[in-house]
Amino acid sequence: MERCIIAAVADNGAIGKDNDLLWHIAEDMRYFRRTTTGNPVVMGYRTFLSIGRPLPKRVNIVISTRPWDDVPEGVIVAGSLEEAYSLAEKTAKSKVNDASVDVEVPENDVATSADGGRETESGRIFIMGGGETYRKALPTADILFITHVHAVIKDADTFFPAIDPAIWKVESETPTATDPETGYTYEFRVYTRRVFPPLCLQAVLISFKWSAIRPTFRL
């Protein structure tokens, strides 16, 4: 399954303060629902507490190393990020939480099983926070779904790790839009990991390039 990260990030990398979002942009919320519905979502314990409930129509996996006696219904607990990935892959064909919440879900986004439950079919796992979970997930992620919010939040306390352009390329990008409520401008970008040739092939290419340009000396 593809390992994906989804986040809304300010120009200075800020993503949160006091375990809460920095903004409420309606179109960003809709984008998040459209993108993640029908897929497993992975989050840290504090991120789950900030939401307060499992997200509907998604397998909810919460990373927690602390004892959690009263695990909410619809939540799967993982002790680490790697365990969360393993659990997500195991449950990818199982029915996801279908709580009665008004969420717009395109019919072609998910498959419906014979008993009315919904099953994932995109083959993606989404990391949705918080900062430490993003930091651990970025080195092995395949795709980034980033809402770039053009603001500098100086008093934020949670930040997204830097997106290195040498590693990530912009696969698609929407035109810049303005949120009428907050006044923030933003766009949605999808990044994919750059593919590099194996080290042995790189060595051959470097050797060939050098042999082609090195000067020829005659005695």
Within a domain: 219: no
Structural domain harbouring 155: 2-213
Q: Which of 82, 86, 21 is nearest to 51 (CA)?
A: 21
In a domain, 15, yes or no: yes
DSSP 8-state secondary structure symbol assigned to residue 140? G
Which tokens sit at 8?
A: 């809304």
CA–CA separation, 8 and 188 (whole Å) = 9
Tell whether 218 is covered by a domain. Answer: no
- Judge whether 165 and 46 are in contact, CB under 8 Å: no
Give the model's pLDDT for residue 70: 87
Query: So what's the pLDDT on residue 69?
Result: 83
User: DSSP secondary-structure letter at 95?
Assistant: B
3-class DSSP state of 33:
helix
User: Is there a domain that residue 31 lies in?
Assistant: yes
Which phi and psi (to 5°) does residue 164 adopt?
-80, 115
Residues near 185 by beta carbon (within 8 Å), at least 6 away in sequence? 149, 150, 176, 177, 178, 179
Return the beta strands (E) in the chain as ranges.
2-10, 14-16, 41-44, 60-63, 75-78, 111-112, 118-119, 124-127, 143-149, 158-159, 168-173, 177-178, 185-193
- Low-confidence stretches of the chain (pLDDT < 70) are 93-122, 197-219
Q: Which phi and psi angles does 41 have, rounded to 5°?
A: -120, 140
C-beta of residue 41 within 8 angstroms of C-beta of residue 78: no
Backbone angles phi, psi at 33, to 5 degrees: -65, -45
CATH number of the domain where residue 113 is located: 3.40.430.10
Total domains in the chain come to 1
Q: Which residue has the tokens 């698609």?
A: 172
Question: Which are the contacts of 164, defined by CB distance < 8 A and separation ≥ 6?
Answer: none
